[in-house]
Structures are given as structure tokens and as C-alpha cells.
Amino acid sequence: MNKQAKIYIAGHRGMVGSAIHRKLQAEGYTNFILRTSAEIDLRDQQQVAAFFTATKPDYVFLAAAKVGGIVANNTYRADFLYENLQIQNNVIHNAYLNGVKKLMFLGSSCIYPKMAPQPLKEDYLLTGLLEPTNEPYAIAKIAGIKMCDAYRAQYGCNFISVMPTNMYGYNDNYHPQNSHVLPAMIRRFHEAKEQNLPTVTIWGTGTPLREFLFADDLAEACYYLMQNYDEAGLVNIGSGTEITIKDLALLIKKVTGYEGDIDFDTSKPDGTPRKLMDVSKLAEKGWRYATELEEGINLAYQDFLVHHVER
């Protein structure tokens, strides 16, 4: 990507999109095409078509999506399937129609079968049943991967797909019901500390293993792959390391300074027992994450205190 290229980041205000924007700015890119969801509804076919026709971006990072945690995914099943399909269908198709040089589609690690062997290799896609609670979101993301591959095969489009692991960082979503596990814990432990609550309750047994990656590390990987990867299929992006939900809770307890106890509500679901990405494909390309989990949680917590705590 030359420094004068027109770059459209779909979802530039979200955690991932904003991290990609920061990375590109740091690399000297200035010619961004940015629109908020109030300015363009990516679910609207006509709006997206008019936008692409008018702006003609050279490169597209498709980081816009309807996202949420286990409760949101399971509650709004139709919304997660319909809205994500609409967003990616409109952006990918109009990127093709308007001669975009390269598009990166960002998916999610939930695309892999629930009981797939661990760690999760890229070729495990579509080899088994999905985790039921987030199946609609996963199906939408799988469709996005296959759509990029189909446009590559039929039209010669340089559309690539990357699958990030669980993300956290600046501009995360800390909504009480609709956030992912790590930011949800940051909020819960912070509020428990402020209110002097004796215990914090965590869903499930605490035994599931999860992998986390700081969003700015993901942005580094996305930039690297946009320069160095031009193939069908997908690339996992993760740390290749994992932690139990219990140990994650203890780490966040430490970072936030909460001094009470942790209680595990075993009547609530655990979700997938283990979800670790095999990142050897990315490692072979020459990339590795930089931000260790405790350092990243500290950075995320400071961002939470600035933007989500009333003073």
C-alpha cells in the first residue's frame, strides 16, 4: 500500500477498527475514507453502493460487525445473522464492483467447530458442529470467508480473510449485558471495588481456557498481512497462549485492585471448553504478538477509567 492510497476502514470507531486506524496513521498513511454508522448504514445496500461509487477506495479493512458476548449472541440470534450478512455482503460486493485493490475481512475464532481439536488450525473450518450459543454469528462470518474466496476464484479479487482470537484493548465495549468476557470482568471488578462488595460472581466453573490478544497487536498483524499475504482461505491471528477463566479473573482482580472474593456460579454455562488458535501459519510469515496479558489488561483498565467512569 503506497502512502497516498485511499483506505476505507469499515468500523473505524470500534476497538479493532480504531486500532487499525492508529497503526496506519503511525505508518504515515493519511488518505482515509471514514464514515460513522450514523453517516452510512452498512446494512443498506443502496447506501453502500452510493458510498463506494463516490469514494472509490483502493484498500478496505472490513472490521464492521454486530458483536457481543454469549448473552447477546444467544438472545439476538436473528439480528446477529441478518445484520452481519448484510454488512459483509454489501461491502465485499461493492469492493468488487469498484475495483478495490485489496480487501481484508476480519472474522472471529467462533467460526471453528465447538469440539475441534486444539489448537485450532485454519483447515478445521467446517469440519464439525458450531457452539450453539453463537452459531448465527459464526455462520455469518464463515459466509464472509467463503464470499472472499468466491470473489477471488470467479473475479480474481485480492480479498483475504483473517480470524482474530478474543480481543481486548482501547475502545472496548463494557456494556453490562452485551460485552465479552474480559471487558465484562474489568467492569465488574471495578464496580465491586467502588461499592465495597464482598464477592464478584463469575459465570461457569472457571475452568474453560481462553486466548486473548491486545487489539493494537491485532492491528500490527493486519497491517503486516495486508503487505505480505495474498492467498485464499484464512489466517489465524492470536497469541498462541491461553489462560483459564479463573486465572483471568484473578489477574483482573489484581489489576483493578479489588480485595474481595470470587464466586463461580456453576449453574451458568461455560461455553466452549477450550479455544486456542494455532498461529503457526502467521508465525511462518514472520509475525508474533508483543503485548503480554497483564500489561494489556493494565492499558485497557486505564482506558476504561478515562472513558467509562463518571468523575
Residue 259 lies in a domain: no
Query: What's the pLDDT score for residue 138?
Result: 95
pLDDT at residue 7 in the model = 98
Is 203 among the annotated ligand-binding positions?
Answer: yes
Rounded CA separation 37/53 (Å): 18
Confirm or deny that 85 is annotated as ligand binding.
no
Residue 299 lies in a domain: no
pLDDT in tens, 19-36: 999 999 999 999 999 999
**For residue 270, what pLDDT is reported?**
87
CATH number at residue 42: 3.40.50.720
**Sign, Cα dihedral of 78, 79, 81, 85:** positive
Cross-strand bridge partners of residue 62: 10, 105
| Grid cell of 82 as nine digits | 441478518
Asked if the peptide bond before residue 119 counts as cis, ω within 30 degrees of 0, the response is yes
Residue 204 assigned as binding residue? no
Cell of 133: 450459543
Total domain count, the chain = 1
Assess if residue 160 is contained within a domain: yes
C-alpha 48, offset from chain centre: 22
**pTM for the model:** 0.93
Block mean pLDDT (10 aa), the chain, length 311: 97 96 98 97 98 98 88 90 98 98 95 93 97 93 98 98 96 84 95 97 94 98 96 96 97 98 94 88 94 98 92 57
Residues catalogued as catalytic: 137
Which pLDDT score is estimated for 311? 57
User: Is 106 annotated as ligand-binding?
Assistant: yes
**Is residue 301 in a domain?**
no
C-alpha cell at 65: 460487525
User: Residue 56 sits in which domain range?
Assistant: 7-171+212-240+276-291
Is position 238 annotated in a ligand binding site? no
What is the torsional sign of CA 135, 137, 142, 146? Answer: positive
Per-residue b or e along 244-281, where b marks 16 or more CB atoms closer than 10 Å to that residue's CB: ebbebbebbbebbebeeebebeeeebebbebbbbbbeb
Whether residue 280 is contained in a domain is answered as yes
On whether residue 302 sits in a domain, the answer given is no
Let me know if residue 195 belongs to a domain: no
Confirm if 45 and 93 have CB atoms less than 8 A apart.
no
Cβ proximity of 62 and 105 under 8 Å = yes
Q: For position 309, what pLDDT does the model report?
A: 85
